[in-house]
Structure 1
């Protein structure tokens, strides 16, 4: 009887494994369709097949929703995603936050196990440390997004004068703003070029030129680029000469960059005094008085 039960259990287990393997080999609708729509929605990924993948996906999404309710700031997150040009929503970002939090929790858990096995520290303190690791991972993901946005906008501000001059030259040569923008994007690569590429994509899909540039002004965080977009939209609507507008915007950005550089130099001037006062000056005093001190010591002796 025992052998029959063991044999039946083994047979049922093998049958379940074979049936699960056959279901896993069968491609799902998502795996067949998503490779053809990645250019439309690059963030789309094929979900993990099977019951375990579905359970994990539900748990992670519920945890992401709860994390969003606790942290809040969905409007701020969506604003930063738009400024960075990421094709995604707040839910996808919350999922990434959960993943970062789980990684932080895992690292803290491993550390806690090692500490507890060696020193027998209080378990409550170790659990609080693991929870702090999860929170730190989620906050680190948010800070990482903010840092990416700042770097993106800094590079876009650096590229803006050159792009504005090239666009002004193209428009002065007799091309329309859209044709000039296409020509500039063919020769420029960078963060600002990516943002202008989104503007060009909106125009090609039927959005009016002025409205496309107004959208760029509303989602960017660089004041100079926002003024440039708004001025270009007004110039297109009212028929103002675009060449003068573009050259004026480029000069304005260069003057702003020069002023910011001078201000940064003024702030760094105070920081440069620290090594002079606390390092160079004491060494100079020591070199000046040490030989006299040695001489006085030898004379007294």
Structure 2
């Protein structure tokens, strides 16, 4: 009886200690969550879908992570988010917090699912680390692809927008009115949103030259920088903007054709590896299989 009583007392103490520890951890976490200030997103865009699914934990993590982000990393992420058009959707701390949480979610899912396959402990650990690495790397890959897609879209529609602005100026409108017409009549694209932001900046009292320089800085594209520099220089010299814009539109269209020709010339080189690795072996198998069977039947 004494031994059984001691075991019961030890089990009671252990359960009480575990319960108190869990309650203390829950209290600390709740205090940390309550300490995170609210967010005013009335002037911001909605976050991407993947970030939206984990938005509350991302906000809580980014609040405590932001003071520890190096300034160099923060500046680099600000530039990349601006190039991706996510400047008003995510902050650098929220992006890094999202990467951490994606890694944690995938590793936790792997920890739950992988034991059902009865793998070795070392293999399970390696796969868990692999899934965590995938969760950490995926947002960076997504951001890179979004920047590349936005750049291709921008270069594709830039000559058309310059043509619209040029036609409106030749019809008698000033530059601001021509940009308004281009925004109203142009196709939906990243460039349209950027020109709309330029118009908002001008209406808010920002000088037109500074608004255009901010456009070139946000997009960080040589074609847009050249266009902005030409417009500002022509305005400073008192030149007529319509011929300048017409020349810029022709130049951008010529560059678009050159990019298309370059991609067409690169296509055969890019197809060489799939041909050698996948298509040629299948072709040789189909052609040589009957010959091989005949040789085997002949006794060779």
TM-score, normalisation: structure 1: 0.68
How many Å apart are 1:253 and its aligned residue? 1.2
CA shift in 2, pair 1:247/1:132, >3 Å: same
RMSD: 4.0
Counterpart of 1:20 in structure 2 is: none
Q: Does 1:190 align with 2:189?
A: yes
Most deviating of 281-290 and 159-168: 281-290
Counterpart of 2:219 in structure 1 is: 220
Contact 1:105-1:130 within 8 A present in 2 as well: no
Counterpart of 1:162 in structure 2 is: 160
How many Å apart are 1:130 and its aligned residue? 4.5
Give me the whole-angstrom Cα distance separating, in 1, the residues matched to 2:276 and 2:120: 46
Give me the whole-angstrom Cα distance separating, in 1, the residues matched to 2:284 and 2:118: 50
Counterpart of 1:83 in structure 2 is: 83
Contact 2:110-2:127 within 8 A present in 1 as well: no
Contact 1:161-1:253 within 8 A present in 2 as well: yes
Counterpart of 1:61 in structure 2 is: 63
Counterpart of 2:94 in structure 1 is: 95
Counterpart of 2:261 in structure 1 is: 262
Give me the whole-angstrom Cα distance separating, in 2, the residues matched to 1:281 and 1:60: 51
CA shift in 2, pair 1:262/1:78, >3 Å: same
How many Å apart are 1:121 and its aligned residue? 3.7
Report Cα offsets for 1:240-298 as digits up to 9, x if no partner: 22111111111111111222222222222223455666746984897599679959x77
Most deviating of 177-186 and 100-109: 100-109
Most deviating of 131-140 and 102-111: 131-140
The secondary structure found in structure 2 opposite 1:111 is helix
The secondary structure found in structure 2 opposite 1:207 is coil
Aligned length: 254
How many Å apart are 1:137 and its aligned residue? 2.4
Give me the whole-angstrom Cα distance separating, in 1, the residues matched to 2:215 and 2:284: 56
Give me the whole-angstrom Cα distance separating, in 1, the residues matched to 2:291 and 2:89: 71
How many Å apart are 1:81 and its aligned residue? 2.3
Give me the whole-angstrom Cα distance separating, in 2, the residues matched to 1:142 and 1:275: 27
Unaligned 5+ runs, structure 1? 1-29, 45-53
Most deviating of 72-81 and 159-168: 72-81
Counterpart of 1:140 in structure 2 is: 138
CA shift in 2, pair 1:274/1:75, >3 Å: closer
Most deviating of 251-260 and 111-120: 111-120
CA shift in 2, pair 1:85/1:234, >3 Å: farther
CA shift in 2, pair 1:187/1:105, >3 Å: same
CA shift in 2, pair 1:119/1:230, >3 Å: same
Give me the whole-angstrom Cα distance separating, in 2, the residues matched to 1:258 and 1:55: 47
Unaligned 5+ runs, structure 2? 1-36, 48-55
CA shift in 2, pair 1:129/1:282, >3 Å: closer
Give me the whole-angstrom Cα distance separating, in 2, the residues matched to 1:219 and 1:60: 24
Contact 1:43-1:87 within 8 A present in 2 as well: no
Contact 2:168-2:181 within 8 A present in 1 as well: yes
